[in-house]
Amino acid sequence: VLVTRHARPGVLRRALAAGVSGFVPKTTPATRLAEIIRDVAAGRRYVDPDIAASALSEDDCPLSERELEVLRASRTGASINEIAALVHLAPGTVRNYLSAAMAKLGAGSRHAAAHRAWEEGWI
C-alpha cells in the first residue's frame, strides 16, 4: 500500500505499474488505512476513489518524450551543459527543449516545469 502526499494521477499510474496494490493519500484516517491494509493483505486492491476519478479525467501529457527526458535530467540541478552531455544533445538544443516544455506548462523556469511534470507523474 502506497501512502503518499503526492496523490496525483500520474503517480498513481507509475505506482500501479510498479505493482502497488493500494494507493491512498496521506490524509486517509488511520482507521480507514488499517481497513485498506487488511483488504490488500487479503488479496484485494484499493485506489482512493477521488484519485481514481481524477486519473480518468486527466489530460494527456502535452510534452514530447525528448522534453520529458530533458526535464527529468534537469531535476538533478544539473547545468545546461551537464544535461546536454547526459542526454547526448547540444546545449542549444537542450535550451530549446526546456523552453518548449516551459511554454507548454506555463512555467517560469526549467525547475518549475520539471517540478510540475514530476507532480503530474510524467517524469
pLDDT tops 90 at residue 70: yes
Q: Which residues pair with 24 in a beta bridge?
A: 3
Q: What pLDDT is stored for residue 58 in this prediction?
A: 62
Domain locations in the chain as residue ranges: 2-57, 65-119
pLDDT of residue 59: 63
Using CA atoms, how far apart are residues 60 and 33, in angstroms rounded to an integer?
Answer: 30
Q: What pLDDT was estimated at residue 122?
A: 83
Domain 65-119 in this protein, CATH class: mainly alpha
Distance, in Å, from the CA atom of 70 to the CA atom of 88, rounded to the nearest integer, reads 10
Give the CATH fold of the 2-57 domain: Rossmann fold (3.40.50)
- Render pLDDT for 38-58 as a digit per residue (tens, 0 to 9): 999 999 999 988 888 777 766
% of the chain exceeding 70 in pLDDT: 96
